[in-house]
Amino acid sequence: MAAGGGRVGRPAAGALVAGWTALADLVLPRTCAGCAVPGDVLCPDCRGRLAEPRLAEPRRHPDGFPPTVAAGAYSGPVRPAVLAFKEHGRAELATPLGRALALAVTGVLAGLPGAGRGRPVLLVPVPSSTAAVQRRGRDHVGELARAAATELRAAGLAARPAALLRRPRGTRDSAGLDAAARRANLAGRFAVRAPRDGPPVGAVLVLVDDVVSSGATLTEAARALAAGLSSGNEPVLAAVVAATPRRSGHRVAARSPGTFTVRT
């Protein structure tokens, strides 16, 4: 505390948080959020499961579902890892999950001339319901978008997060609903936050989310973006950390951002 009873400054507060985090790691050793092996927040094996990009194909393909790449399957240890980040406060997973999302973004950009290089790439987080954000105390998809944008910029892409969508108050959370109920719940439920000067010329719009299941959320979000911002010359694209296993989709070969090809 500063002399005279002043409040602790930000650098000092940051040092305190870092100290407590280090102490917690000593007293309560960190474990992998996917498989509980002591060590990294996400062990190499579990990270590997999120380096297997594939085209996401819902079982009942909704009309208007955007071209979507997932970094891995929402199964095995990937599921508890995503839930630990999303619902149980393990915010430190933003970095490895954001890296996985960056791989998925680069995969979906592979279908564009030049794989999106030389063009602004806007990562548009799919907004959660107000109730879900209040319950979690944070916008977890926004965190993923920021982490992914950092990875993509390091790989030479002009990527940045752009909160261009919002959900009006009163929208029910779709968790636990079946596909038909999700579609009904989300129909017309996204509104565009149009930038004052519009999106940058030639910008690629990529919706980002943690998981795709029925595809209803991405479909409605893509419709809203296409109606409000897209030039109509190109589809809105989408990338997610993981996709609920359905029928097998085309695999996307990847080694690092910028090195994707689609296997047909």
Nearest alpha-carbon partner for 125 in 165, 92, 184: 165
The pLDDT of 64-88, averaged and rounded, is: 97
Q: Using a CB cutoff of 8 Å and minimum separation of 24, what contacts does 194-197 make?
A: 194/164, 194/228, 194/229, 195/162, 195/164
Give exposure, 124-138, as e/b (b: 16+ Cβ within 10 Å).
Answer: bbbbbbeebbeeeee
Q: What is the pLDDT of residue 144?
A: 98
Alpha-carbon dihedral of residues 64, 161, 173, 84, nearest 10 degrees? 120
In a domain, 148, yes or no: yes
Write out pLDDT tens, residues 180-192. 555 555 556 888 8
**Range of 2-6, 59-63, 227-231 with top mean pLDDT:** 59-63
Look up the pTM and report it. Answer: 0.79
Q: What is the pLDDT of residue 231?
A: 59
**How many Å separate Cα 171 from the centre of its chain?**
20
In a domain, 40, yes or no: no
In a domain, 26, yes or no: no
- Answer yes or no: is pLDDT of 176 > 70: no
In a domain, 119, yes or no: yes
Helices vs. strands in the chain: H and E counts, helices first: 8, 10
The pLDDT of 57-84, averaged and rounded, is: 94
In a domain, 21, yes or no: no
Burial environment of residue 29 by CB neighbours within 10 A (0 to 12, 13 to 18, 19 or more): exposed
In a domain, 12, yes or no: no
In a domain, 131, yes or no: yes
Task: Residue 182: give the domain boundaries.
Answer: 47-262
In a domain, 160, yes or no: yes
How many structural domains is the chain composed of?
Answer: 1
In eight-state DSSP terms, residue 43 is: -
Give the Cα separation of 128 and 133 in Å (integer): 6
Q: What is the pLDDT of residue 2?
A: 44
